[in-house]
Amino acid sequence: MSNNDNGDNKGPDPRIPRFNFNNRIALISLLILVSFFVFFFVYNDRSGTAELPYSTFQTYLDEGQIDQVKIIDQYEIQGTFKAKSGDVGFFKTTIPYPDPDLMKSLKDKAVKVSGGAKAVSPIAVLIQFLPWVIGFFFIWFMFRQVQGNGNKAFSFGKSRAKRYMDTNKRITFGDVAGQDEAKYELQEVVEFLKSPQKFARLGAKIPKGVLLVGMPGTGKTLLAKGVAGEANVAFFHMSGSDFVEMFVGVGASRVRDLFEQGRRHAPCILFIDELDAVGRTRGAGYGGGHDEREQTLNQMLVEMDGFDTKDGVIILAATNRPDVLDPALLRPGRFDRQVVVDMPDIRERELILRLHAKKLPLADNVDLARLARATPGSSGADLANLVNEAALFAGRKSKDRVDMEDFEEARDKTLMGVARKSKIIPPKEKQMVAFHEAGHGLLHYFLKNADPLHKITIIPHGRALGVAFSLPEDDAYSRNRGWLLDRITIAMGGYAAEKLMLNETTTGAQNDLEQATELARRMVCEWGMSEVLGPIAYGQKDEPIFLGKEIARHKDYSEDTARAIDNEIKKIVEGCLAESERILGEQRDKLKLLAETLLVKENLDDDEIRTLLGMPPRKRGEFEPATAAAAPATPAAVPVSSAEGGL
């Protein structure tokens, strides 16, 4: 992304191969070799040599016309003869049988006799020389590769950074929807790359390194390219895993080469994606403190500390695990600024959808604002995939435009899995699924803190036989106790409906029980929502730094406390189950009607359910409870699904 010429300097076209000096040498060598073989063939091919029968040879010998002969391997005679006109010619003949009188006759006629071996054929010579010719050209080819491609044959220690400098495809902040705060922070980097003297005269120092932190798919790499595009400078991209190889010392060598490239092309941006692949805390991995990854990290620390602000080189890096990075990387003077690239909110999701959908022919009924509200917790990559899936659905149906139905199907596929309409379910099991999902869905209308219901389906999606799906009215970053209790109550609704209508429960409630128990456990152990145990966090996460994921929880409390925790969790879950049984028992007729209608139609949305049950249409903002949807994945948010279903 540097300043390219506009066509004024007409140099050689790089797409046309140039005929350089090394190519001339190779061509001359090839011509000499070919000339040698041509001469050899011509020299060995005596076109003036006459093939004589042995009887004719004997006649010429008796008449004294044979001048000299050369006997080859006792079977062939070559020589010269004099014609009656005085001309001299070459001949050859083959001895068909052993002739004991031949030598006596030659001696009597005073013929000069010599002997020799049969000459090697040109084909044999070619076969013998062929390996040498192939070896010569192989060595020449390897030599050309080493010279013409930057010593690729010995480039283990060279950086594999990709350089983007095409101004025609330059990405700017205008190509990044949302992320206003992140772009504001990065705008300072752009200003420094454009006008470094503006900061230098005030004595200000620009941050040497900027770390982009965010969940996967939020656009960290796109923002880094946007910085390079806005500043119109070279952009070098490299993954953290590209540094480490099986050869010792290669990673450190590549780090040195990458930073050297940056100095040569300053001002520029060096972008290291997935920094946690090489920047994890030292001493926490296998191999002690001397493994290859840690040596690579040490070299990176040295290079970053040696960078001078006047070099005009900015190091950007991206990771979704800043907690596992080595503290030396995050100190001032290295990555001294962290820019959080968060999940998009409802306004940003709409902007992202519009950005990706502007290339599609949209129908008039497409409501991107509603779609943005229907995709809480989705990243920019998720939304781009959703738009693409909608276009694929429209293409399968041979439509001219992408309509809202295609977007609905794409969203359901993305969030719940592919609809398995061909799956045959026995009638009794299908009835169980209908009562189960009707139990989930009906509770939305009788609980104050629940999110609005969107649709219920008993068509299998993914691993679930049915789904009750809800949508929050607005993004939420934290939840209160009332919402959590209603969420558990709705999760237990399928279990309660099966028990109420069928007098038994099924394995379809497995996922619901897991969600309800996990929420209750976190209420007690993490969020201090138990009156008995109080506002105390119980249990620390065991998270090995080299694995980067929670594998267990450390028990740092007594057996009596553990028993109290179990009792509180059981009390919450059983209390919510009793509440769901009470509501469904009071609304038994509506539960039965809803389940029977689901058996016929298989899909029901909120408006259809309200019409069926005789409820007024819901107005935005009024109390019309529904079921739990996914809160954005923040540390304080509740990581729960936006659908309830059974296996």
Give 456-480 pLDDT, tens digit per residue. Answer: 888 887 677 888 878 777 777 778 8
Q: What is the pLDDT of residue 443?
A: 92
Whose CA is closest to 280, among 249, 339, 322? 322
Of the chain, the percentage scoring pLDDT greater than 90 comes to 11
The confidence score (pLDDT) of residue 552 equals 54
CA-to-CA distance for 310 and 408, rounded, in angstroms? 53
157 located within any domain: no
175 occurs within a structural domain: yes
593 vs 609: CA distance, rounded Å: 10
Query: Cis before residue 267, ω within 30 degrees of 0?
Result: yes
- pLDDT-derived band at 518, boundaries 50, 70, 90: very high
* 148 domain residue, yes or no: no
Beta pairing class for 76-82 and 66-72:
antiparallel
DSSP string, 390-454: HHHHHHHTT-SSB-HHHHHHHHHHHHH--B-TT----HHHHHHHHHHHHHHHHHGGG-TTPPPEE
Q: Which of 368, 384, 416 is the last residue before a domain boundary? A: 416
Identify which of 273-282, 326-335, 401-410, 631-640 has the greatest average pLDDT: 401-410
Token pair 């006649």 is found at 59
Which two three-digit tokens encode residue 295? Answer: 């040596």
Clarify whether residues 586 and 622 are in a common domain: yes
Bridge partner list, 645: 467
Same domain, 320 and 386: no
pLDDT number for residue 42: 54
Q: What is residue 312's three-state secondary structure? A: coil
Residues facing 203 on adjacent strands: none
> What is the pLDDT at residue 636?
33
Q: Supply the pLDDT for residue 36.
A: 66
Check whether 387 has a pLDDT greater than 70: yes
In a domain, 22, yes or no: no
- Structure confidence at residue 157 (pLDDT): 45
Contact between residue 488 and residue 519 where contact means Cβ atoms under 8 Å apart: yes
Question: Looking at per-residue confidence, does 408 or 169 come out higher?
Answer: 408
Q: What is the largest CA-CA distance in the chain?
A: 140
CATH of the domain at 581: 1.20.58.760
Residue 497, in any domain of the structure: yes
Which tokens go with 633?
């994945």
- The DSSP result for 230-268, as a single string, is HHT-EEEEEEGGGS--SSTTHHHHHHHHHHHHHHHT-SE
Q: Which of 317, 341, 365 is the last residue of a domain?
A: 341
The reply to whether 537 and 589 lie within a common domain is yes
pLDDT for 101 equals: 77
- The lowest-confidence range among 216-220, 274-278, 350-354, 636-640 is 636-640
Please state, in angstroms and rounded to a whole number, the distance separating the CA atoms of residues 265 and 259: 10
d(CA 265, CA 262): 5
pLDDT class for 59, splitting at 50, 70, 90? confident
Both 382 and 497 in one domain: the answer is: no
Span 619-639, average pLDDT:
38
Look at the alpha carbons of 488, 493, 499, 504 in this order and tell me if their dihedral is positive or negative.
Answer: negative
Burial (CB count <10 Å: 0-12, 13-18, 19+), residue 189: buried
Name which residue leads in pLDDT, 442 or 155.
442
pLDDT band per the 50, 70, 90 thresholds, residue 22 = low
pLDDT of residue 32: 75
Q: Which of 456, 520, 457 is nearest to 486 (CA)?
A: 520
DSSP state of 325: B
Structural domain includes residue 541? yes
From 416, 442, 473, the end of a domain falls on 416
Average pLDDT over residues 537-557: 60
**CA nearest 612: which of 622, 600, 626?**
600
Residue in 437, 498, 624, 644 annotated catalytic? 437
Is 132 contained in some domain?
A: no
Residue 202 shares a structural domain with residue 293: yes
Within a domain: 143: no
DSSP state of 632: P
The bridge status of strand 112-116 relative to strand 162-164 is unpaired
**What Cα–Cα distance (Å) separates residue 160 from each residue in 13, 238, 240, 257, 274?**
25, 7, 11, 9, 15
Both 562 and 642 in one domain: the answer is yes
Environment class of 137 (CB within 10 Å of its CB; exposed 0-12, middle 13-18, buried 19+) = middle
Co-location of 402 and 456 in the same domain: no
Between 79 and 462, name the one with better pLDDT: 79
> pLDDT band at residue 48, thresholds of 50, 70 and 90?
low
Q: Verify that 464 and 564 share a domain, yes or no.
A: yes
3-state helix, strand, coil in the chain (%, to 5): 50, 15, 40
Q: Is 632 exposed, middle or buried (0-12, 13-18, 19+ CB in 10 A)?
A: buried
Domain span at 263 = 162-341
Task: Please state the rounded mean pLDDT for residues 434-457.
Answer: 88
At 523, is the secondary structure helix, strand, or coil? helix
Residues 363 and 204: their CA atoms lie apart, in Å, by 53
Instruction: Measure Cα distances from 129 to 92, 146, 168 in Å.
Output: 29, 26, 53
> pLDDT tens, 414-432?
777 676 666 677 888 888 9
Angle among Cα 512, 517, 522 to the nearest 5 degrees reads 130
Active site annotation includes 437: yes
Q: Are 371 and 405 in contact (CB under 8 A)?
A: no
pTM: 0.62
d(CA 469, CA 626): 9
Higher-scoring residue by pLDDT: 136, 66:
66
Percent of the chain with pLDDT over 70: 72
Same domain, 319 and 367: no
Most trustworthy range by pLDDT among 184-193, 217-226, 587-596: 587-596
CA distances from 205 to 197, 226, 259 (A): 11, 22, 19
| For residue 289, pLDDT beyond 50 | no
Helices assigned H by DSSP within 45-75: 54-62
The pLDDT value given to residue 124: 65
Least confident window among 232-241, 312-321, 582-591:
232-241
Residue closest to 524 by CA, chosen among 566, 489, 480: 566
Of residues 47 and 75, more confidently modeled: 75
571: its two tokens: 């009390």
Joined tokens for residue 492: 């237990």
CATH of the domain at 265: 3.40.50.300
Closest CA to 522 of 464, 481, 574, 576: 481
- Number of structural domains the chain divides into: 4
Q: What is the pLDDT of residue 566?
A: 92
CB 644 within 8 A of CB 457: no
Q: What is the CATH number of the domain that holds 386?
A: 1.10.8.60
How many residues in the chain?
A: 647
Say yes or no: 359 and 455 in one domain. no
User: How far is it, in rounded angstroms, from Cα 70 to Cα 471?
Assistant: 106
pLDDT at 632: 29
> Has residue 627 got a pLDDT over 50?
no
Residue 236 and residue 320 in one domain = yes
Mean pLDDT taken over the chain: 75
DSSP H stretches of helix in 64-158: 102-108, 122-148
Q: Same structural domain for residues 487 and 591?
A: yes
Pairing assessment for the beta strands 268-273 and 313-319 based on DSSP bridges: parallel
Q: What is the mean pLDDT of residues 351-367?
A: 88
* pLDDT confidence of residue 536: 87
pLDDT in tens, 143-187: 655 544 444 444 544 545 555 555 556 777 877 888 888 888 888
Torsions phi, psi for 422 (to 5 deg): -85, -10
Q: What is the CA radius of gyration of the chain?
A: 42
